[in-house]
């Protein structure tokens, strides 16, 4: 399973958040694309439209389990996708910003 650490991510890297709506609303990485794992196959086209051509998709969830499943699926589809180890919990612990939709500070639930 291709995996990267939160500390390996750079500003501007394409981030796909696969957590559910309530988790996203509590707080997320600014600029991430949100497609919940429960809707992922039906909304796959949104990812292919938003993802950079020939770019890497960094997949994140709360702790790394759901994002690992989506990463495996994307790799099988031929995309350059990697799982973000430790997910949003490690993201927040590393001091990376977590925001709500209106830009206020958020939290990982």
Q: Which residues are catalytic?
A: 61
Residues 30 and 100: their CA atoms lie apart, in Å, by 8
- Reading phi first (left if > 0) and then psi (alpha if -120 to 50, else beta), residue 12 is in left
Residues paired with 58 in a beta bridge: 15, 82
For residues 8 and 14, what is the distance between their CA atoms, to the nearest angstrom?
13
Confirm if 42 and 25 have CB atoms less than 8 A apart.
no
């Amino acid at each position: 399973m291709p995996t990267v650490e939160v500390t390996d991510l750079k500003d501007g890297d394409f981030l796909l958040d696969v957590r559910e709506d309530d988790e996203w609303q509590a707080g997320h990485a600014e600029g991430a694309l949100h497609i919940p794992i429960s809707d992922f196959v039906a909304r796959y086209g949104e990812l292919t439209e938003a993802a950079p051509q020939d770019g890497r998709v960094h997949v994140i969830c709360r702790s790394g389990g759901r994002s690992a499943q989506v990463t495996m699926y994307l790799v099988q589809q031929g995309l350059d996708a990697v799982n973000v180890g430790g997910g949003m919990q490690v993201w927040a612990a590393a001091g990376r910003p977590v925001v709500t939709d209106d830009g206020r500070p958020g939290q990982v639930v």
